[in-house]
Amino acid sequence: MDTSIVADSSIINYYAPYKAKLEAAMNRIIGYAEGPITRNRNAPESLMGNFFADALLWKGKQLDQEVQASFATKDGIRADLHAGDITVGNIFEVMPFENAVCILTLSGGDMLRLADYMVKTGGQPVGGIELVIENGKAKEFLVEGKPIDPDAHYKLATYDYLANGGDYVTFFDKPIAREDYTQLLRETLMQYVSGITKQGKHVQAQLDGRIQIIK
């Protein structure tokens, strides 16, 4: 195809209203970021990872008040947010996939397997969790500020792709219980941003030491 091919005006006229409607929806502003919210695959935590995991934990607690933690992966987050206006289209860039929220009930032993995965991969986006890695091992692993009890059960918000074994996640293979929701991850992010905006606030993210690597 080259410039010698003339565009069919009847086709353009047909899809133009839909294109305009889509662009208007994607350009709708839902919030404002105080500063850049960025990824960093080489760091144990990142601004975007913390923002993403906190939004997931927020929604998890809405769906089930007993949810204690959230878990995502660095590779699942596909874009940064720039400082300034946040649009619907920006959220689609962050999470372009049709992944949906999933809440798992896990044994303490499986939570420790999750910690081992984070040790091996140099940290992953989590909420409600604190992990200190030293000499290639989990020195400290806390959920809601408390050490893991191998005999206890824990409720964790994640998404179906990971619950099904994506990104080499094997520790979700035998959950005590699993609840799948129709709530898409990007819907969660949009609601999270919109909720902050309705409170008259700007979206912020910070590094808080939830995952630390001590050489």
> Tens digits of per-residue pLDDT, 10-19?
555 544 555 5
Phi, then psi, of 73 in degrees rounded to 5: -130, 155
Tokens of 4: 């010698």
The rounded distance, in Å, linking the Cα atoms of 37 and 49 is 9
Question: Rounded to whole angstroms, what are the CA distances from 129 to 41, 72, 156, 157?
Answer: 19, 12, 10, 12
> Tens digits of per-residue pLDDT, 139-196?
999 999 999 999 999 999 999 999 999 999 999 999 999 999 999 999 999 999 999 9
pLDDT band at 25 (very low <50, low <70, confident <90, very high): confident
pTM for the structure as a whole: 0.90
Q: Tally Cβ neighbours within 10 Å of residue 90.
A: 24
> Tens digits of per-residue pLDDT, 37-56?
999 999 999 999 999 999 99
- Determine the number of helices (DSSP H) and then strands (DSSP E) in the chain: 6, 11
Question: Rounded to whole angstroms, what are the CA distances from 191 to 43, 56, 197?
Answer: 27, 11, 10
- In total, the chain counts a number of residues equal to 215
Q: Which residues of 31-67 are buried (b: 16+ CB within 10 A; e: fewer)?
A: bebeeebebeeeebbbbbbbbbbbbbbbbbbeeeeeb
The ranges assigned to domains in the chain are: 32-214
User: What is the percentage of the chain residues whose pLDDT exceeds 90?
Assistant: 87
The rounded distance, in Å, linking the Cα atoms of 114 and 122 is 12
Please determine, for residue 200, whether its predicted confidence score (pLDDT) is greater than 80. yes
What was the pLDDT predicted at 214? Answer: 93
- Mean per-residue pLDDT of the chain: 92
Fold exhibited by the domain 32-214: 5'-nucleotidase;  domain 2 (3.90.780)
Taking phi first (over 0 means left), then psi (-120 to 50 degrees means alpha), and beta for anything else, what does residue 99 get? beta
What was the pLDDT predicted at 15? Answer: 45
